[in-house]
């Protein structure tokens, strides 16, 4: 569908939230992602589209997502940064399995590495909007406290536990297992290295693979 760039807002140094408007609401479930195609991206080895996790709520014409920018970045990211208000772009259908389970009583463990927290923001907002309290444990691994984004949203949800892990400390799968119920569904989102590392450790500790749901943000070496 066609979307129109509206504005972007800096959430932390190098981390921006982008807002687009669509003519009709995009059909998606909180936690899903979609690919954004930009016009005029030249000589980008990865092409003119990237996938982003939606941070807005379904049912509105406002769409948002979070992006990390680096000093050295691809032509796509340069183009994204240079968009003018009302410039058109194209968004594919939303996809992804990192969504809330049907059974509201299932304990949920959200594990975010850096801007991987974006995958959980629409879910939190939906639950807050519906005044629905699910048992959620949040582990948020960050390179610096300055990159702690969406604090207002996570702080306004009645979490069972919120653990922020700042580098050089590392989140350990054993800590997750020791502090959460054995029947919890564990959701992982972050860089490929972060997600694959925790996934492998959880598996080694005996977590059934159907209890682990994950998305990783490809293309980033670190988040
Ligand atoms: C399911 C899914 C969900 C995702 N959700 C999000 C999301 O919500 N937000 C998000 O930001 N991304 C998300 N991604 C990742 C996103 O699609 C991009 O792959 C990612 O943003 C990297 O973009 P890029 O390739 O333009 O690289 P950049 O972000 O420009 O760069 C990535 C790294 O490569 C380095 N680099 C870039 N260009 C060069 C160069 N010419 N020479 C040397 N080094 C260079 C940069 O310095 C940086 O370290 C998601 C991916 C998937 C699969």
Atom of ligand 1 nearest to the CA of 35: 17
- Return the best residue to mutate from 41, 50, 55, 215 for the ligand 1 pocket (most ligand atoms within 8 A of CB): 50
The rounded Å distance from CA 220 to ligand 1 centre is 5
Token pair, residue 57, equals: 């709520």
The pLDDT, as a whole number, for residue 174 is 97
The pLDDT, as a whole number, for residue 222 is 67
Task: Tell me the pLDDT tens digit for each residue of 81-119.
Answer: 999 999 999 999 999 999 999 999 999 999 999 999 999
Which residue has a Cα nearest atom 1 of ligand 1? 215
pTM greater than the 0.85 cutoff:
yes
In CATH, what is the architecture of 2-91?
A: Beta Barrel (2.40)
In CATH, what is the architecture of 108-217?
A: 3-Layer(aba) Sandwich (3.40)
The pLDDT, as a whole number, for residue 221 is 72
**Spacing of C-alpha 6 from chain mean position:** 20
The pLDDT, as a whole number, for residue 177 is 97
Q: How many Å apart are CA 195 and CA 198, to the nearest integer?
A: 5
- Return the best residue to mutate from 12, 53, 219, 221 for the ligand 1 pocket (most ligand atoms within 8 A of CB): 219
- Return the best residue to mutate from 218, 221, 222, 223 for the ligand 1 pocket (most ligand atoms within 8 A of CB): 218
217 touches ligand 1 (CB under 6 Å)? yes
In the chain, which residues fall in CATH 3.40.50.80?
108-217
The rounded Å distance from CA 151 to ligand 1 centre is 23
80 touches ligand 1 (CB under 6 Å)? no
| pLDDT in single tens digits along all 223 residues of the chain | 999 999 999 999 999 999 999 999 999 999 999 999 999 999 999 999 999 999 999 999 999 999 999 999 999 999 999 999 999 999 999 999 999 999 999 999 999 999 999 999 999 999 999 999 999 999 999 999 999 999 999 999 999 999 999 999 999 999 999 999 999 999 999 999 999 999 999 999 999 999 999 999 998 876 6
Which residue has a Cα nearest atom 37 of ligand 1? 73
The rounded Å distance from CA 183 to ligand 1 centre is 34
The pLDDT, as a whole number, for residue 169 is 96
Atom of ligand 1 nearest to the CA of 76: 26
In the chain, which residues fall in CATH 2.40.30.10?
2-91
């Amino acid at each position: 569908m066609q979307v129109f760039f509206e504005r972007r807002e800096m959430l932390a140094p190098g981390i921006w939230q982008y807002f687009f408007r669509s003519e009709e609401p995009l059909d998606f479930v909180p936690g899903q992602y979609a690919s954004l195609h930009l016009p005029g991206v030249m000589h980008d080895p990865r092409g003119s589209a990237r996938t982003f996790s939606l941070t807005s709520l379904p049912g509105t014409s406002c769409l948002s997502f979070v992006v990390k920018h680096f000093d050295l970045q691809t032509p796509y990211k340069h183009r994204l940064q240079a968009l003018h208000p009302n410039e058109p772009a194209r968004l594919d259908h939303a996809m992804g399995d990192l969504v809330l389970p049907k059974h509201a009583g299932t304990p949920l463990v959200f594990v975010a590495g850096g801007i991987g927290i974006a995958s959980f923001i629409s879910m939190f907002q939906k639950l807050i909007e519906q005044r629905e309290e699910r048992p959620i444990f949040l582990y948020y691994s960050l390179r610096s406290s300055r990159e702690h984004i969406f604090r207002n949203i996570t702080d306004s949800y009645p979490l069972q536990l919120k653990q922020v892990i700042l580098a050089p400390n590392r989140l350990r799968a054993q800590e997750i297992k020791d502090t959460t119920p054995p029947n919890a569904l564990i959701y992982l989102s972050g860089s490929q290295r972060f997600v694959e590392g925790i996934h492998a450790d959880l598996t080694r500790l005996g977590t059934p693979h159907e209890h682990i749901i994950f998305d990783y943000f490809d293309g980033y070496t670190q988040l």
